[in-house]
Amino acid sequence: MSRVDDPSDLGGRPIGRRAFLGFVGLGLSSLAWGGAAAGLAVQSTKLVPEGLRAMIPFGKGWRIYAVNPPHPRFDPQTWRLTIEGLVEQPQTLSYAQLLELPQARQTSDFVCVTGWSVDDVRWSGVRFADLLAAARPLPSARALEFVSAEKPYVDSLTLEQAGAADAMLAHGMDGKPLERKHGAPARLVMPRMYGYKGVKWVERIVVTDRIRDGYWQERGYDRDAWIGKSNGR
């Protein structure tokens, strides 16, 4: 009587074992080339509308990160942005006052350190030179600390970095006021750095004499988060 537990009785060839090892080997090798392949796949998804793109593999879509949910709520009546620290004249701006400042527009890519990105985001907002003009930073000022309404998220830029031509405090995205999930009503946009520098739900800007570690720097990420030149890349 034949028995199933006798391997010689099963017949066939151990194709499955080879397939398993081959599949694992292929998968592990993708640790080296998978990023580039995903990048190519992403290029081919650009024709799909943004809302759908998030659903397809490696599509260009936002992934919403939060450190202390739920997302802060924005009330245009009560919201205030304070600018304080090493300034001659501390400021408290309402939403309406923020919109009255000189406005800037730009189209730039958003790149997350974890590997996803969104191309050609249309931002509108205020350049830091205009934002800080009334406050007048003191000669000892070296950095800006952006404090989020989502505690304890905070991050900083040097004054030089904040003066970049494409850095802004954005209040509009893709032709609409900033959505709640994207940091309504105002967020930091610094396109040449990874997204974790882009503090959302900014409610306070503190002018300091030196840069301090932010939320993600305390968790091992680089302070100067230049895309392609930081965080191990």
For 45, 62, 216, the CA distances from 55, given in Å and listed in that order, are 11, 10, 27
Window contacting other proteins (CB under 8 A); options: 53-61, 83-91, 140-148, 160-168: 53-61
**Per-residue x/- mask for other proteins, residues 180 to 219, rule CB under 8 A?**
-x-------------------------------------x
> Is residue 40 involved in binding other proteins (CB under 8 A)?
no
> Is residue 47 involved in binding other proteins (CB under 8 A)?
no
Window contacting other proteins (CB under 8 A); options: 32-40, 76-84, 128-136, 188-196: 32-40
Of 11, 49, 139, 175, which lies in the binding site for other proteins, with binding defined by CB under 8 A? 11
Alpha carbon 129 to chain centroid distance? 22
Nearest by Cα to 125 from 166, 176, 172: 172
How far is the C-alpha of 92 from the C-alpha of 81, rounded, in Å? 6
Question: Considering beta carbons, is residue 13 or 210 the nearer one to other proteins?
Answer: 13
Question: Considering beta carbons, is residue 24 or 129 the nearer one to other proteins?
Answer: 24
Nearest by Cα to 213 from 153, 139, 141: 153
> Is residue 1 involved in binding other proteins (CB under 8 A)?
yes
DSSP 94-160: EHHHHHHSPPEEEEEEEE-TTS-EEEEEEEEEE-HHHHHTTT-B-TT--EEEEEESSTT-EEEEEHH
Min dist. Cβ of residue 139 to other proteins (A): 35
Q: Is 120 left (phi over 0), alpha (psi -120 to 50) or beta?
A: left
**Per-residue x/- mask for other proteins, residues 94 to 133, rule CB under 8 A?**
--------------------xxx-----------------
Min dist. Cβ of residue 37 to other proteins (A): 7
Min dist. Cβ of residue 144 to other proteins (A): 24
Q: Residue 160: what residue type?
A: E
| Contact predicate 186/170, CB 8 Å | yes
| Contact predicate 185/79, CB 8 Å | yes
> Is residue 44 involved in binding other proteins (CB under 8 A)?
no
Q: Residue numbers of the site for other proteins (CB under 8 A)?
A: 1-5, 7, 10-17, 19-20, 23-24, 27-28, 30-38, 54-55, 57-58, 61-71, 114-116, 181, 219-222, 231-233
